[in-house]
A = this chain, B = another copy of it.
């Protein structure tokens, strides 16, 4: 169950479900592109969604991850005509999908929804700031560890599928950069992987190997949304 929705009074939540529909998101599905209108907002349950910013050429960078603690489509809530990021499904699973117009209409009459969405936007802004700094100051190995922890949290599982190639895309580095960092983590028996199947062996160790940004993020959620 999506936690933003879980925080709503039952009545409000039910009305919201009635306005939308539960859909299954599939891995790599694209939910939005920069410059295009956002048709639906999504509240992930088991699924989770990457927000990726294109930088011209082939450079890309993931700037945020939305799982059951959040949502995709804040631009709709903010009344913006178009998305400014790519949104792509990172982990398959269900999500509540609501049409942009219906969602805005609902926001207008549902203060508890507005309140929760606004708080999420605030947290999101904090994450973006944190991630910007993380990308600037921390080495690939730390960032990789952080990314795996974040993914694991949202996948609700300690194993998941992702290739070095894909990770490179997310972190904005070369594939070999990922290979090198991943090898080091594997040598420390923190993770294991083979042909895209990653599993976390030692969560506490991985947290130590990651930068403090991971913990900062958790705190931020707990403080504002918990």
A residues contacting B by CB (< 8 A) are 51, 53, 55-56, 59, 61, 63, 74-75, 77-82, 84-85, 115, 118-119, 121-122, 124-126, 128-137, 172, 212, 220, 223-224
- Which listed residue, B75, B122, B131, touches A75 by the CB 8 Å rule? B122
Number of copies: 2
- Which listed residue, B55, B80, B124, B133, touches A133 by the CB 8 Å rule? B55
Q: Are A132 and B53 in contact (CB under 8 A)?
A: yes
Q: Are B132 and A131 in contact (CB under 8 A)?
A: yes
- Which listed residue, B79, B118, B122, B124, touches A115 by the CB 8 Å rule? B79
Instruction: Report the separation of the CA atoms of residues A63 and B126 in the bound assembly, to the nearest whole angstrom.
Output: 11
Task: List residues of chain B with CB within 8 A of the CB of A223.
Answer: 82
Q: Which of A77, A79, A122, A132 has the most CB of B within 10 A?
A: A132
Instruction: Report the separation of the CA atoms of residues A74 and B75 in the bound assembly, to the nearest whole angstrom.
Output: 15
Q: Assuming A128-B129, A212-B56, is B61 touching A136 (CB within 8 A)?
A: yes
Q: Are B80 and A137 in contact (CB under 8 A)?
A: no
Instruction: Report the separation of the CA atoms of residues A135 and B119 in the bound assembly, to the nearest whole angstrom.
Output: 27
Task: List residues of chain B with CB within 8 A of the CB of A51.
Answer: 129
Q: Are B132 and A80 in contact (CB under 8 A)?
A: no
Task: List residues of chain B with CB within 8 A of the CB of A133.
Answer: 53, 55, 59, 61, 63, 172
In the assembled complex, the CB of A54 is this many whole angstroms from the nearest CB of chain B, namely: 8
Instruction: Report the separation of the CA atoms of residues A132 and B129 in the bound assembly, to the nearest whole angstrom.
Output: 8
